Structure 1
Amino acid sequence: MIKAYVFDVYGTLFDVHSVIHKCNQFFPHKGSKISHTWREKQLEYSYLRQLMGNYTSFSTVTKDALRYAVHKHGEQLDPQTEKELFHAYFHLDPYPEVKEVLSQLQHKKLAVFSNGSHDMLDPLIAQSELHHLFDEIISVDEIQQFKPTLASYEHARKCLNVKPEEVLFMSSNGWDITGAKNYGFQTAWINRHHLPVEELNLEPHTIYSNLSGILEWE
């Protein structure tokens, strides 16, 4: 029996590439390339810092990844442009079905669980008008252990005061679903980009193209 519905944020509830328009304002015709490199390095830097035992908050990781992405694509980043592009992460677009799905689950315990630090998560969720739909906003920054470590998922479980098998965890990121299943959560992969399952012998319990599919767990 599912007692807590737990949602990843970036790519699951919010479209990280809704920053492309803002990137194009500063770097015409390079917005898509910069956005995709930015996201790739954002993830890579979190993995590397975890492996090296050199933790820093996701806001710092995001800024470092942005600098790399801009430089990779032959541009320079002044302090004001960096500030404006970083703040674009506070105004990401939620996916179209998100608010309706969350509204239909209000009789359940709902939580956000993200690698994002609260200085990024809280303003993003507040401006999207989704804040009142969640019981908990949980960040790995509270224990300085990035997903997909076992310790990160254990932290979320403790915050929710449930057993691992009582959690349905949703993410659009295959690596995150793999980590959550490895820990013991039930998993629903929101496979928005129709990607193959990760080859780690930890297949998702269910796969949906968007969040609407999770309503069948009711």
Structure 2
Amino acid sequence: MTITTCIFDAYGTLFDVNSAARRAAEEPGQDRLAAVWPQLARDWRQKQLEYSWLRAIADRHCDFWQVTQDGLDWAMEAAGLDDADLRKRLLALYWELEAYPEVPQMLRTLKTRGLQTAILSNGAPDMLRAAITLAGLTDLLDDALSVEDVGIFKPHTLVYDMVGKRFGCRRDEVLFVSSNGWDAAGGAGYGFHTVWANRSDAPVDRLYARPEHIMPDLSRLPEII
């Protein structure tokens, strides 16, 4: 395949969405959170995604920061954590998510080969800028495309359309990479070449399309191009 453009989902793909809860749980005085943080992180992420889908279906769009807060509120209540200071701390840490360790070198390799690289994310523009800057990825990405430009969340076709409009490439020139099975399926159904970064070793989603490649992380991604 001839790939000119590599497009990445952000949260869970380049940036570790569990790192906010994990880091907070390691701080002094957070014994209650330390006992439940893995479940809180899972619930937070699941509700964040569910709310984005439900808002898209209902035509009730809001930005990703709102669904991030709403998802956390549900997860904290489910965990029995009624703590305004902890909520504030977790949300602050979400703006400081850690990049997965293999990400910088992987992107650097792609850039040395002359490929265009970008993010295509549900995230709001200011959230994406903060994450990219903190992770030191600014010089390794040509752009960060946000669904806020079209007013609906993935996997709507309007979101995937943004890639061709920005880079002037055909669908079959794009390698789309996501850690979300449903998003990789969405990209595959749209006509992108796709990689599912299956970090949790989950089963393949039963949807209208399947990812072309499945990898446990992104360290070997350059090898398939």
**d(CA) in 1 for partners of 2:44 and 2:115?**
35
Is contact 1:168–1:185 with CA below 8 Å preserved after alignment? yes
**d(CA) in 1 for partners of 2:212 and 2:192?**
10
**d(CA) in 2 for partners of 1:8 and 1:146?**
12
In the alignment, does 2:3 pair up with 1:2?
yes
Corresponding residue number in structure 1 for 2:62: 56
Is contact 2:106–2:222 with CA below 8 Å preserved after alignment? yes
Report runs of 4+ in structure 1 exceeding 6 Å deviation. none
Corresponding residue number in structure 2 for 1:92: 97
- Aligned residue runs from structure 1 range 5-84, under 5 A: 5-24=6-25, 25=27, 26=30, 27-78=33-84, 80-84=85-89
**d(CA) in 2 for partners of 1:81 and 1:34?**
12
TM-score, reference length from structure 2: 0.92
- Aligned residue runs from structure 1 range 128-143, under 5 A: 128-143=135-150
Q: How far does residue 23 in structure 1 lie from its aligned partner after superposition?
A: 4.1
Q: How far does residue 74 in structure 1 lie from its aligned partner after superposition?
A: 1.2
Q: How far does residue 166 in structure 1 lie from its aligned partner after superposition?
A: 0.8
Corresponding residue number in structure 1 for 2:170: 163
Q: How far does residue 83 in structure 1 lie from its aligned partner after superposition?
A: 2.7
Number of aligned residues: 217
Q: Percent identity?
A: 38
Q: How far does residue 150 in structure 1 lie from its aligned partner after superposition?
A: 0.8
Q: How far does residue 179 in structure 1 lie from its aligned partner after superposition?
A: 0.7
One of 99, 109, 117 as aligned partner of 2:116 = 109
Is contact 1:23–1:30 with CA below 8 Å preserved after alignment? no
Is contact 1:7–1:170 with CA below 8 Å preserved after alignment? yes
**d(CA) in 2 for partners of 1:39 and 1:201?**
23
Secondary structure of residue in 2 paired with 1:29: helix
Secondary structure of residue in 2 paired with 1:95: coil
TM-score, reference length from structure 1: 0.94
Q: Cα deviation per residue 1:107-155 (whole Å; 9 max; x = unaligned)?
A: 2100011111112111011011011100111111111110001111012
Q: How far does residue 201 in structure 1 lie from its aligned partner after superposition?
A: 4.2
Residue 170 of structure 1 aligns with an amino acid whose one-letter code is V
Q: Cα deviation per residue 1:65-120 (whole Å; 9 max; x = unaligned)?
A: 11111011112142x43332112112112111111111111121000111111121
One of 126, 130, 134 as aligned partner of 1:127 = 134
Which blocks of at least 5 consecutive residues in structure 2 are unaligned? Answer: none
